[in-house]
Amino acid sequence: MMLLIVTPLVVATQNPGKFSELQATLAGLSWELLLMPEGLEIAETGDTFLANACLKASKVAEATGHWAIADDSGLVVDALDGAPGIYSARYGQTDLERIQRLLNELGDEPQRAAHFVCVMALADSTGRIVAQAEGVCSGEILRAPRGKGGFGYDPIFYLPEREQTFAELTPEEKHQISHRGRAVQALLPKLRALP
């Protein structure tokens, strides 16, 4: 009988939406996903998605003594010169406030192209970054929210080829095409080969 060795992997987030997306995507691998300990705060001081992802993965691994995976992701809106970008989570106090601020800033702007970016970083138990990957999903910003699923900007992020917002997709559909899903897919070969 083969003994399956499961390695703890701390997900550097307190966001339950991100955690459950990763759980679903990494199911079946020899990693036991753990939520980042409460009270552990990592300031996102980097000026890029990659810098923030590496910073979070490294600091969480050092603090817990376990492997850690982190992502930094956000919405990049062309007409707003890339805003909210790395500040997507801090664009308001709640999802509703963030969405409203974005819609107010876009106003009647006809060019509503946008893309979600996700950069993931994997750190070993010493905090050394051993792998990274990026995923991008392009779409456009609607003038009003649609759909009840997802989180964050999902209700206003529209995918023309599907004629749906992220919030109208099933979780499984979203995992397949989202920026985070694409970043995880790019990282999967490295995760399978480790630790």
Pairing of strands 67-77, 31-35: unpaired
Q: Are 43 and 69 in contact (CB under 8 A)?
A: no
Catalytic residue among 72, 81, 95, 154: 72
Q: Residue 102: what residue type?
A: L
- For residue 31, the number of C-alpha atoms closer than 13 Å in the C-beta half-sphere is 26
Locate tokens 């990494």: which residue? 26
Return the bridge partners of 165, or none. Answer: 158
For residue 56, give the nearest of 67, 70, 46, 45 by alpha carbon: 70
Q: CA 10, CA 24: separation in Å to the nearest integer?
A: 15
* Tokens encoding 26: 């990494």
Structure tokens at 56: 């979070």
Task: Select from 154, 130, 171 the least CA-distant residue to 73.
Answer: 154
Question: Is 72 in the active site?
Answer: yes
Distance from C-alpha of 73 to C-alpha of 6, rounded to nearest angstrom? 27
Q: Known catalytic residues?
A: 72
